[in-house]
Amino acid sequence: MSGLLLGVLVLGIVGTTADLLLLAHYEDTAQLIPLGLLAVALLIVAWHTMRPGGRSRRALQMTMGLFVVAGIAGVGLHFAGSAEFQREIDPSLGWRQMALKAVRAKAPPTLAPGAMIMLGLVGLIYTLNPRTES
């Protein structure tokens, strides 16, 4: 079962990396954070696969924790960007109307960074298995 979780994690990392690169998600420093984390995660997963043990498991746990933090921050940044755009379009919008429009916006998609949260949780669940340390 743990091998399956690791496979899902790798597939998610590769897919998310491809998606971000195809979307040119590297226009500013903040946009490089998820790409950097994804690259680091692939290296750590490779290390952990070749030499499973406590150190590689802890490195994977820390990286997955950073995925969760980056995903939460990304949702906030995407929401802020969408909200700013909605305010520019219609300054008369109330907060609630603006928030609903921002959440429904396609650019930037507010909940897209949730993929980082999900990947982080999958990775953390994988590391809970005691066999990932052997």
Per-residue pLDDT tens over the stretch 119-133? 999 999 999 987 766
Tokens standing for residue 73: 């921050």
Q: What is the pLDDT of residue 42?
A: 98
Residues of the chain with pLDDT under 50: none
Q: What is the Cα–Cα distance from 124 to 64, expressed in whole angstroms? A: 6
Contact 116, 74 (CB under 8 A): yes
Total domains in the chain come to 1
Secondary structure (3-state) at 93: coil
Say how many C-beta atoms besides its own lie within 10 A of residue 38's C-beta: 23
What pLDDT is attached to residue 129? 82
- Say what the pLDDT of residue 2 is: 84
Parent domain of 28? 2-133
Instruction: Of 84, 81, 87, 73, give the one whose Cα is nearest residue 108.
Output: 81
